[in-house]
Amino acid sequence: MLHQSFYLSGALCAVLAAGLLAGCGKSQEPPAAAAPTQSAPEEDARSKQAIPDKPRSAPTVTLTDADADRALAIKRGQVVEVRLPADRVGGFSWIPAENLLPVMSTDGVPEFEIADGAPAGTMGTEIWRFIGRGPGHAHLVFEYRQLTDLAGAAQRTVVYHFDVE
Going along the chain from its start, the domains and CATH numbers come out as 3-29+57-164 (2.60.40.2020)
The whole-number pLDDT of residue 121 equals 66
Closest C-alpha among 150, 128, 132 to residue 141: 128
d(CA 83, CA 124): 10
Question: Which residue, 86, 61, 40, is CA-closest to 140?
Answer: 61
Does the pTM surpass 0.85? The reply is: no
pLDDT in tens, 104-134: 999 999 999 988 887 776 789 999 999 999 9
Compute φ and ψ for 10, nearest 5 degrees: -55, -40
- φ and ψ at 19, to 5 degrees? -65, -40
Which pLDDT tens digit goes with each residue over 133-143? Answer: 999 999 999 99
SS3 14: helix
Q: What is the distance between the alpha carbons of residues 17 and 104, in angstroms, rounded to a whole number?
A: 14
C-alpha radius of gyration, the chain, whole number: 17
